[in-house]
């Protein structure tokens, strides 16, 4: 099995070498520790996705400097205008530029996504490491994680948000809580499989303390599946945040966010197709992009998955 894998990987490489390539990427050899980056940059879907998300972020940052149009400015005269030269994708019930608000929506979505990833990644990694390393902690801690996972994620998020009230911080806290068990299960699994390796035993025998072993010797070996999972958590969190905002239980109403825009658009669906098209397409493209980046990262880190 192992030899055949190596052969397919080798064949793919030799095919790739045969094609003329820009020099820089080609200089990264399969032995290099940056080989995964080369593989990702050679994947057109991943590169396209990264460029798209980057473009969104840059537009959201520089647009306010270029235009006097402002996403929060109410302008009742221009209510529900169709797309025109003044408003490329029309206006909403309050006369606000839909395209501009849509581009601004990436701020909330991506920052919530990244913050949720950081929070659940951190908590999940800690819990997973501790539960995997100390057998005594394993059962009680993982039962609590099972308890959280017994709720459909979005429903648990709705319930917590209903109790805490709408705010961006609460969305991040809630979704971080909801996705922690996914990360902790993953890290616990890798910890259990790494824990009995010889180098861990060696570290124990020369008297390295438990925390040193966990963070210096075990944690780095759980990283690669964790990083891949984190990309998907950003995507999941963006969907969850927009669902919560769509239901009116997410970020406060005045913040421009895709879920909120879809909620507003849903109410005038018979009259203003542009109001749902802009946030819907942007949301779809962003999540799609993050998933494609996650997939290519997984293929680059774990060659086994590439054959699929």
Partner 1 sequence: MTQYIIRRLLLLVPVMLIVGIMVFTLVHLTPGDPAAVILGPDASSSEVEALREQMGFNEPLYVQFVLWFGDVVRGDLGQSYYLGEPVTRALLNRAEPTILLTLYSLTLAIIIGVPIGIVSAVKQNTFIDRLAMMFAISGVAIPNFVLGIFLIMFFAVMLGWLPSGRYENILDDPIQHWRHMIMPTIALGFSSAALLARLVRSSMLDTLKEDYVRTAFAKGVGFKTVVTRHALRNALIPAVTVIGYSVGTLLGGAVVTETVFSLPGMGRLVVNSIARRDYPIIQGAVMAIAVGYVMANLIVDIIYVYIDPRIRYGD
Dihedral of alpha carbons 135, 141, 145, 150, sign: positive
Instruction: State the DSSP H helix or E strand holding residue 56, giving kind and residue range, or none if neither.
Output: helix 44-66
C-alpha distances in Å from residue 307, one per residue of 3, 46, 90: 14, 17, 45
State the nearest-atom distance from the C-beta of 40 to partner 1, in Å. 17
123 counts as binding partner 1 under rule CB under 8 A:
no
Among 262, 293, 300, 301, indicate the residue that binds partner 1 (CB under 8 A): 262
Instruction: Count the residues of the shown chain that bind partner 1, applying the rule CB under 8 A.
Output: 45
How many C-alpha atoms does 107 have within 13 Å on its Cβ side?
Answer: 17
Q: Specify whether the CB–CB gap between 275 and 151 falls below 8 A.
A: no
> Does 2 contact partner 1 by CB under 8 A?
no
143 binds partner 1 per the rule CB under 8 A: yes
3-state secondary structure of 251: coil
154 binds partner 1 (CB under 8 A): yes
Asked if 137 is part of the footprint of partner 1 (rule: CB under 8 A), the reply reads no
Which of the stretches 6-14, 90-98, 145-153, 209-217 binds partner 1 when contact is defined by CB under 8 A? Answer: 145-153
CB of 108 to partner 1, least distance (A): 15
Contact with partner 1 (CB under 8 A) among 160, 200, 226, 297: 160
Q: Alpha-carbon distance 197 to 208, whole Å?
A: 15
Pick the binder of partner 1 from 276, 278, 293, 300 (CB under 8 A).
276
Nearer to partner 1, 28 or 285 (CB): 285
**Exposed / middle / buried, residue 15 (Cβ in 10 Å: 0-12, 13-18, 19+):** exposed
Stretch that binds partner 1, among 52-60, 87-95, 203-211, 258-266 (CB under 8 A): 258-266
Of 64, 165, 272, the residue nearest 261 (C-alpha) = 272
Per rule CB under 8 A, is residue 98 in the interface with partner 1?
no
Binding to partner 1 (CB under 8 A): which residues in 187-206?
Answer: none
Q: Which of residues 79 and 306 has its CB atom nearest to partner 1 in the complex?
A: 306
Q: Does 105 bind partner 1 (CB under 8 A)?
A: no
| Integer Cα distance of 255 and 244 in angstroms | 13
251 binds partner 1 (CB under 8 A): no
Rounded to whole angstroms, how far apart are CA atoms 262 and 161?
19
Count Cβ atoms below 10 Å from residue 111 Cβ, excluding itself. Answer: 13
147 binds partner 1 (CB under 8 A): yes
Helices 168-195 and 219-247 cross at an angle (nearest 10°) of 150
- Choose which of 25, 164, 208, 223 interacts with partner 1 (CB under 8 A): 164
What residues contact 111, with CB distance under 8 A and at least 6 apart? Answer: none
Is residue 235 within the footprint of partner 1 (CB under 8 A)?
Answer: yes
Binding site for partner 1 (CB under 8 A): 143-144, 146-148, 150-156, 158-165, 235, 239, 242-243, 246-249, 262, 265-266, 269-270, 273, 276, 280, 283-284, 287-288, 291-292, 295, 307-308
């Amino acid at each position: 099995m192992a030899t055949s894998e190596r052969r397919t990987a080798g064949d793919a490489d030799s095919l790739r070498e045969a094609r003329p390539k820009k020099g820089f990427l080609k200089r990264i050899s399969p032995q290099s520790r940056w080989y995964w980056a080369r593989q990702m940059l050679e994947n057109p879907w991943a590169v396209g996705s990264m460029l798209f998300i980057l473009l969104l972020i840059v537009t959201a940052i520089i647009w306010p400097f270029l235009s006097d149009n402002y996403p929060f400015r109410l302008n009742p005269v221009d209510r529900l205008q169709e797309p025109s030269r003044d408003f490329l994708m029309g206006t909403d019930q309050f006369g606000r530029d839909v395209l501009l608000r849509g581009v601004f929506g990436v701020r909330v979505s991506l920052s919530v996504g990244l913050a949720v990833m950081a929070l659940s990644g951190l908590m999940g990694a800690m819990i997973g490491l501790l539960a995997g390393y100390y057998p005594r902690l394993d059962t009680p801690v993982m039962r609590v994680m099972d308890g959280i996972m017994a709720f459909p994620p979005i429903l648990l998020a709705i319930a917590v948000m209903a109790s805490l009230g709408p705010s961006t911080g609460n969305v991040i806290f809630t979704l971080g809580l909801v996705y922690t068990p996914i990360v902790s299960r993953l890290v616990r699994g890798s910890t259990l499989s790494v824990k009995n390796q010889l180098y861990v035993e060696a570290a124990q025998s020369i008297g390295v303390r438990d925390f040193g072993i966990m963070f210096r010797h075990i944690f780095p070996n759980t990283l690669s599946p964790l990083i891949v999972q984190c990309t998907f958590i950003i995507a999941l969190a963006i969907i969850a945040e927009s669902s919560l905002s769509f239901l009116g239980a997410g970020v406060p109403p005045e913040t421009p966010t895709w879920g909120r825009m879809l909620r507003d658009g849903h109410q005038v669906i018979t009259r203003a197709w542009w109001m749902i098209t802009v946030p819907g397409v942007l949301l779809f493209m962003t999540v799609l992009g993050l998933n494609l980046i996650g997939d290519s990262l997984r293929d680059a880190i774990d060659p086994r998955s590439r054959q699929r």
